[in-house]
Structure 1
Amino acid sequence: MAKRKKIIVIEAQRIFRKNKHGMDFVALEMIRGLQQLDTFNQYVIAVGPGEDQCLEATENFKIVLLSSSNYFIWEQLLLPQLLKKEHADLLHCTSNTAPLFLKIPLVLTLHDIIFMEKKIGNNTSLYQNLGRIYRRWVVPRILKKVHKVITVSDFEQNNIAAAFPELRDHIITVYNGVSTRFKPLPFCTDPRFSALEKGSYWLLLGNTDPKKNLKNTLKAYAYYLKESKYKKKMLLADLEQEHLDRLLTEMDLQEIKDYLIVEAYIAHDLLVQVYNQAFAFLYPSIRESFGLPLLEAMACGTPVVTSNTSAIPEVAQDNVVYINPNDIRSIGSGMLELENNHLLYDNLIVKGLARSARFDWNQTAAKTLAIYESVHLSK
């Protein structure tokens, strides 16, 4: 019996937005991998409005723009209309949520269930708070109907299975990959960063989400500055200067301000240069379902100081300096250990390059395609 060609719709609502973040890049790289791998099935990539046309259509990959910027309308009204119009056989939603009413099989990428857990700290972002409320309402309902759940680590698979035991046999771990653009570079070309001497700063992705642990990290950096012989600066990416100033005032840490370099947003194609120029990457997150930035740093030959919590040890293994993210002195001591132990530093460069090379988007795409093929179609 001949293999049946499927019409597969992939939700990629945010990949065209200019300021992309983790889940956006995961969806984008996975789709690019599928374009290289699968020339048989027909794909419809559903995207939202945005300036960054970062994905090109191919013969069997059509890109359809659904124009609403309201996420609820986009997902719950426009996406189901597209499924009907395209006579879709399968829907893959890539960012934790999906339409509530579906007549076709659903594959859902559930990166984490942090939104179902006790809140970490107080989040001042209205956008993030509304997103949490929406996910807490939608996800339990769609999980009753999902055919397959993809998650990004065994740690997160166990979390989901504990919270939703009925899904235990439907969850599959598919690791993220590392883009080939992340690699050691001989020099930095962007004028904002080429002026910074290579190895002169720590890099921190300073997201305001409480799980990213910014307050403890700033306190730990103040401790580091008191103890360090070198007193390297810190580059904080993905953070507004106004927000940082409020934090420094609130925590009485104005004395460290002159050591901080702030960039509100660094485009992904420039991030490789920032990793390369950094002395090391600081990733003291309290809770991660995977931890893609630490692999990106490793792939650039940049050592990593990171947390001993959640999925991070599963991904990083013994190729980093581990710290307790809830202990300010532990964070600072980890930074000092890496700075003062040159043998450790050089060793982690070599080990990090080898570890990151094991994560490939083509493998992610191949495992995702195998999941699509495993879903039985009713028509």
Structure 2
Amino acid sequence: MRIGIEAQRIFRKKKHGMDIVAVQMIKELQKIDRVNEYFIFVNPDVDTATISESENFKIIPLKKSPYPIWEQKHLSEAVKTYRLDLLHCTGNTAPINTSVPLVLTLHDIIYLEKTDVRSGSWYQRLGNLYRKWNVPKVVRNSDAIFTVSEFEKKVIDKYFKFEKEKVKVIYNGVAQHFQPHSITAITDKIKDYGLPKKYLLFLGNTAPKKNLKGVLLALKKLDQKGKLNMDIVMPDFGENELNALLASIDAKSIRNKIHLTGYIPNQDLPYVYSGAEMFLYPSLRESFGLPILEAMACGCPVITSNTSSMPEIAGDAAVLVDPFNPEAICEAIENLLQDQVLRSSLISKGYARVPLFSFEQGAKTILDTYSKIHDMHK
């Protein structure tokens, strides 16, 4: 087979969830498939060391352009140019018209659940508008759809009401470099980012679903109790956005407790997880929640939400809270800071939880699906 994989964003410097998942999927396919020919279509960018070519895996940079144009024009043309037998789009959207069978990784349909497109950054808003237009069309044209949790599968099935089974769950996994590090290694990396010796960690972005407001309200409550006795590290947040939100909730008093680092590359995150007292991930809505497993793999206890996919991924290896209740988040932080038995238990359970999720197993399922679709279309 000649298989095309859309991996448009994987060479960009600031990679996030879907980009990381696409990279790991490709690497696992490289390990297990030496027979089929693969063409990895990317948007040219700076981080070209993300993946490497091999004998049957070729990286094809298409003309650098905005995502909709890149996907609808250049990717569509590449399907014909490279005489593909199958195209797998990894980031929710796909070309409207393809001349070959289409496999789609649909991480979530959060953007279809809400009509308010005014929240989040301009980049996030425009992306959601494109998805709202594109996804309902391409799911109908897909021969198979992968999603990342049983929760999200139920949401997708309920929304689209497919006549036959079309959606498969392929869990994400954790890259091998996510592991606990020694005190010396952690200390050296902390110095690189100017981090405090003891800190809480919150990893998210300005998207409303990440619940930055709820976390800040919880920290404000903790501060009012006189128990916010360490800094909280928040990578990839802007000073202006943070200050505006703190002002809106009358929480400027905790600004001196918040440490902004800017973007932290994926390769450095294990050190930051390993050095944290705990990881806060009380999102309002997730389709998977990859950072939950990343933190567990690094021996960092986790507080996450009791909603959407997060209980499915965390199991009993995290403290689950109501993300809409800042007081509940505050109490969970306070309890975990004080209860060393709970902390040790969560770390042990986290280590045991991580191996249940595997990119390797996911790649095997993907390859099997490719073969079945190809046989159907012979």
TM-score bracket for this pair, using the shorter chain length: over 0.9
What residue is the counterpart of 1:331 in the other structure? Answer: 329
Query: Where in structure 2 are the equivalents of 1:1-379 lying within 5 Å?
Result: 6-53=1-48, 54-118=50-114, 122-166=118-162, 168-186=164-182, 187-188=185-186, 189-190=188-189, 191-193=191-193, 196-197=196-197, 200-227=198-225, 229=227, 231-375=229-373, 376-379=375-378
Q: Distance in 2 between matches of 1:144 and 1:360?
A: 28
Identity level (%): 43
1:264 CA drift (Å): 2.1
Q: Please give the TM-score of this superposition, normalised by the length of structure 2.
A: 0.95
1:357 CA drift (Å): 2.1
Asked if the contact 1:283/1:306 (under 8 Å) is kept, the reply is yes
Q: Distance in 1 between matches of 2:103 and 2:282?
A: 32
1:245 CA drift (Å): 1.2
Asked if the contact 1:105/1:377 (under 8 Å) is kept, the reply is no
Q: Distance in 1 between matches of 2:199 and 2:164?
A: 44
SS for the counterpart of 2:75 is helix
Q: Deviations over 1:196-229 (max 9, x none)?
A: 32xx111001410000011111010111223354
Q: Distance in 2 between matches of 1:363 and 1:353?
A: 18
1:121 CA drift (Å): 8.9
Q: Distance in 2 between matches of 1:359 and 1:36?
A: 18
Asked if the contact 2:5/2:87 (under 8 Å) is kept, the reply is yes
Classify 1:109/1:287 alpha carbon distance in 2 versus 1 (closer, same or farther; 3 Å). Answer: same
Q: Distance in 1 between matches of 2:281 and 2:115?
A: 20
Letter of the 1:378 partner, please give it.
Answer: H
SS for the counterpart of 2:232 is strand
Q: Deviations over 1:112-135 (max 9, x none)?
A: 000100257952411111111111
Asked if the contact 2:222/2:228 (under 8 Å) is kept, the reply is no
Asked if the contact 1:224/1:231 (under 8 Å) is kept, the reply is no
Letter of the 1:364 partner, please give it.
Answer: G
Q: Distance in 2 between matches of 1:38 and 1:78?
A: 27
CA RMSD of aligned residues (A): 1.4
What residue is the counterpart of 1:3 in the other structure? Answer: none
Q: Distance in 2 between matches of 1:258 and 1:126?
A: 28
Q: Distance in 2 between matches of 1:31 and 1:206?
A: 25
Asked if the contact 1:153/1:174 (under 8 Å) is kept, the reply is yes
Structure 1 runs, 4 residues or longer, greater than 4 Å off: 119-122
1:63 CA drift (Å): 0.4
Q: Distance in 2 between matches of 1:68 and 1:24?
A: 17
